[in-house]
Amino acid sequence: MNLSAQKMSDLPKALTEDNLKKALSKMLGTQIIRADFESKQLQGGTVGDVRLVTGTAETAGGEKLPYEIILKVQKKWERQGDPDSWRREYDLYKSDLGALFTDSLRWPECYRAEMNGEENETQLWIEYIDAISGMDLTIEMREQAAAELGRFQGRIYKNNPPALQDISCFTPISWAGHYYTIYSRQEPQYNYIRSDDCEIPRYLCQMLMDMEREAEKIYANAGNMPFVLCHRDFWYSNIFYSDGKIILLDWDCTGWGYMFEDIIQLITDETDVKYLEEYYRKFIPAYIKGISEYIDISQLKDLHLYAWKLLVIKFGYTLAYRHMNAKSLDEKKSSITALQKMYEMRDVQWN
């Protein structure tokens, strides 16, 4: 092990040569008897300690192989309304979910998954994905991700594969509605759009209040549409594009949900206001095209209105919160511009 750039005390306990050799033996398809390593932390905090581990592995036959692998250590923590989120990715990797992916959309392969009961943590040794992601994704790449997700959800809905039957750790269908109820009723933004001091135009505030009152009915009516397997963290930082294929990371929120739920997140999360309408006009038709390869949704009424309402429910209060806490006039204007675009998108339809 090369510790020139790091101290042992800085490393997770799971990062040992013994654990590494077991993971690399699976990854490289041969017995590894020795491995040196360096690690670089990619992410840390409540979402886990994620490290890129690199080095050289030596096989039983004396061959030396360079490698890159990810170690993700997740300590126990509780997301409001979803206490098992911290271990869900581990549970899913131990399940048969991996059999449901195709070459065009998949998750990173897991080479070793362990649960440390004493430490209350999961330890995942997974494939390192060297691909385009984040802000480097083009609109066309994101559009393809929308279409591939539609195909994935449609294929699972149509075939109802046996691999799903024994998986009990998914988030429930009601999770999205529950999360919205918690978030929208938080006092700061709830009271702000109702106050005389609110600088957001009243008709935009009214749009948010109307959707708040209608939210329960909207989620109830969504039961008339196919329930699909949602990723529920479907935004550009978790989407990787390589050679025309999509790899999705971070499956800890995965569960049954509503059509369009993931795509609305792709449209809205961390989106520059100037792209909001373009994303809306492109990603939803791409998603519809993908899911329609497996599900006949031609008889579903008012899909455009349903998608728009989910957009307002998902993103409207977030924009109100941003406006309320904006530090500059430009930030305030940006939030109002986004709300205005959202208001105008009500009439957008697709063939």
Token digits for 11?
């490393």
Determine how many CB atoms are found less than 10 A away from the CB of residue 52: 14
CATH code for the structural domain at 132-347: 3.90.1200
Q: What is the pTM of this model?
A: 0.91
Give the pLDDT mean for 210-238: 86
Q: Are 116 and 278 in contact, with CB atoms under 8 Å apart?
A: no
Q: Would you list the DSSP string of 72-122?
A: EEEE---BTTBTTHHHHHHHHHHTTGGGG--SSEE---EEEEEEETTTTEE
Q: Is residue 22 within a helix (H) or strand (E), and if so which, with residue range? A: helix 17-28
Give the pLDDT mean for 298-312: 88
pLDDT tens digits for 146-179?
999 999 999 999 999 998 988 999 988 777 766 6
What is each CA distance from 49 to 73, 110, 250, in whole angstroms?
Answer: 5, 16, 13
Report the pLDDT value the prediction gives residue 2, as an integer from 0 to 100. 45
CATH architecture of the domain with range 8-127: 2-Layer Sandwich (3.30)
List Cβ neighbours of 149 (8 Å cut-off, separation of 6 or more).
Answer: 105, 231, 234, 246, 262, 263, 287, 290
Residue 45's pLDDT band (boundaries 50, 70, 90)? low
Residue 223's pLDDT band (boundaries 50, 70, 90)? low
Report the pLDDT value the prediction gives residue 182, as an integer from 0 to 100. 59
Token digits for 24?
């690399």
**Minimum mean pLDDT among 41-45, 63-67, 105-109, 289-293: which range?**
41-45
Q: Would you list the DSSP string of 118-163?
A: TTTEEEEEEE---SEEGGG--HHHHHHHHHHHHHHHHHHHHH--GG
Instruction: Name the maximum alpha-carbon separation found in the chain.
Output: 76
CA distance 114 to 122: 6
* CA 222, 226, 227, 230 torsion-angle sign: negative
Report the pLDDT value the prediction gives residue 221, as an integer from 0 to 100. 72
Give the pLDDT mean for 31-58: 89
**Minimum mean pLDDT among 124-138, 221-235, 291-305, 329-343: which range?**
221-235
Best-predicted range by mean pLDDT among 42-51, 218-227, 301-310? 301-310
pLDDT greater than 80 at residue 307: yes
pLDDT tens digits for 250-299?
999 999 988 999 999 999 988 888 899 999 999 999 999 999 999 999 88
pLDDT greater than 70 at residue 32: yes
Report the pLDDT value the prediction gives residue 256, as an integer from 0 to 100. 92
Report the pLDDT value the prediction gives residue 79, as an integer from 0 to 100. 81
Give the pLDDT mean for 309-326: 90
Domain map (residue ranges) of the chain: 8-127, 132-347
Report the pLDDT value the prediction gives residue 1, as an integer from 0 to 100. 46
pLDDT tens digits for 291-304?
999 999 988 888 88
Report the pLDDT value the prediction gives residue 44, as an integer from 0 to 100. 54
List Cβ neighbours of 312 (8 Å cut-off, separation of 6 or more).
Answer: 207, 208, 211, 342
**In percent, how much of the chain has pLDDT > 70?**
92
Token digits for 328?
């500059």
pLDDT greater than 50 at residue 4: no
